[in-house]
Amino acid sequence: MDSFKGNNRLLICCTLVFVFSTAGWVTVDRAVAAEDTVSCTECHEDKQNAKFVHYPAAEGECTVCHEPEPVHLEEGGPGGMKTDRTASACYQCHDNRAAGSTVHTALEMEGECIQCHNPHGSSVEKFLVKPLNNLCQECHDPVPAEAASGSQHLPVTDDKGCLNCHDPHSSNQAALLTSSPKTLCLGCHDREITTQEGDEIESVKNIKEKLDMPNVHEPASEDDGCLTCHAPHGSQYKKLLTASFPEKNYYKSGTDTDKNIFELCFTCHDEAMLNKDISAADTGFRNDTVQNGTVVRNNLHRFHVVNVVEGRNCNICHDPHGASQPHILNSKWTMKTYEPTLLFESRPDGGECLKSCHRPKHYQRLD
C-alpha cells in the first residue's frame, strides 16, 4: 500500500487544496475547499459516476490535477483550465511506479499513467481504461499467444492474463517479469495441472517434482533455463517448445533426414550421436566389438531412434527436466495402457538395462 495512507493522506485532506483568489493560487483551509468542490461537480457530476471512482475525484479534490481560471468557474468551459497530464500529478499521492531496473516503455510515453488509468474512475477495477487484455493488446497486437499455431499457454488469456507474469509498471527482472523466470514457471508448475475443453481432459506433469530428482538436466536447473526450450506465450511447435521435437513417444522414422525433428536437442547436443559411423567421442551409448582386429561401434542411439520404422523419441528414455537415474534416464514412462519400467545400471565401460522393453541387455565401450 502506498505511503500516503499514513501521513501524506492527512496532508492532502487538510491542506493540499488550492482555491482561486485575485492574486493567484493560494492554500486555504478545508471549509473553502469544500465550496470549490461543489462548483466543479455542479457542472461535471459525471466525473463521480463511474462504477469505481478514484478517491480524489470522489472527494471532489479536482484541483490536485486541474487548475481553473476564474472564467471557467463563472462561465464554464471549455478553456480557462490547466490540466496536469503527467505522472507527477499522480506522484503527489502515489509511490513512484517507475522504480524498478526495467521500466515499461508505456510509462515514458506521452500521457504516461492516463494511457491505462482513467484519473476519475471507470467501470474496470483499478480505473483501467479497458479490460486487462484489451488494454495490453492496444499496443501489443497481436497478443503474443494469438500468433502461435502449435500451442498456446492458457495463463496468457485467462482473467489475470498478462499480469500472471508481468508487472504493468516496472520490475527488477528482465521483460517486466514479476519474479525470475524459473520461480515464475514453478509458481504454477509445482503440481500436476488438469484442464478440460469439451470432453477432452488434458493433464500437464508436475515439473518441480522432476527438478527435485537426483539427476537434473543442466539447462532446466538454470534461472532462465525454461525459456531456452519453451516460449512463454505460445509457439508454432507443441508444448510451447522453441524448436521442433516429436510430439509422441514413437514417431515415423527410418531416414537420416528425421534428425532435424530433434532440432530442439541438437541446438546444444551434437547430432553426430545419431550417425551410422561414429567415433568414441560421438556417444557413450554404443556397443563396441572387435571384428577382424578393428573396433566396430554399434551406435545404440541410432539403433533405438533412427534404425526402426517406429522411432523411439528421446523422452522415452530421458526426461528433458530431470529423472531418478544417471544420464537423466526415466524409471518409467506412460503409454496408453501400461507403464513400462526402465531399470538402468551404469558400468565403468558401459551400462546395462536390467528392465526395459526387452530382456536384460548390456553394452560396453572399448575405449
| Stretch 293-322 residues interacting with ligand HEC (CB under 6 A) | 301, 304-305, 312, 314-318, 320-321
Handedness of CA 204, 209, 213, 217 (dihedral sign): positive
319 in Cβ contact with 271 (< 8 Å): no
Tell me which of 17, 18, 33, 65 binds ligand HEC, using CB under 6 A. 65
Subset of residues 251 to 270 that bind ligand HEC, contact rule: CB under 6 A = 262, 264-265, 267-269
What mask of x and - would describe binding to ligand HEC in positions 148 to 187, judged by CB under 6 A?
---x-xxxx----xxxxxx-xx----xxxx---xx-xxxx
Q: Which lies closer to ligand HEC via its Cβ, residue 133 or residue 293?
A: 133
| Phi, psi angles (nearest 5°) of residue 317 | -95, -40
Footprint on residues 131-150 left by ligand HEC (CB under 6 A): 132-133, 135-136, 138-140, 143-144
47 binds ligand HEC (CB under 6 A): yes
Q: Are 310 and 250 in contact (CB under 8 A)?
A: yes
Cα dihedral sign, 288-290-291-292: positive
CA angle 331, 336, 341 (to 5 degrees): 20
- What does the alpha-carbon distance between residue 182 and residue 161 come to, in Å, rounded to a whole number? 19
Neighbouring C-alpha atoms within 13 Å toward the C-beta of 129: 13
Q: What is the DSSP letter of 292?
A: T
Minimum CB separation of residue 111 from ligand HEC in Å reads: 7
Interface of this chain with ligand HEC, residues 95 to 134, rule: CB under 6 A: 97, 102, 104-107, 109, 112-117, 119-120, 126-128, 132-133
Among 17, 33, 40, 124, binds ligand HEC (CB under 6 A): 40
Neighbour-count burial of 231, counting CB atoms closer than 10 A to its CB (0-12 exposed, 13-18 middle, 19+ buried): buried
Which parts of 323-362 interact with ligand HEC (CB under 6 A)?
A: 327-328, 350-351
How many residues of this chain interact with ligand HEC, rule: CB under 6 A?
136
193 in contact with ligand HEC (CB under 6 A): yes
Q: Is 33 in the site for ligand HEC (CB under 6 A)?
A: no
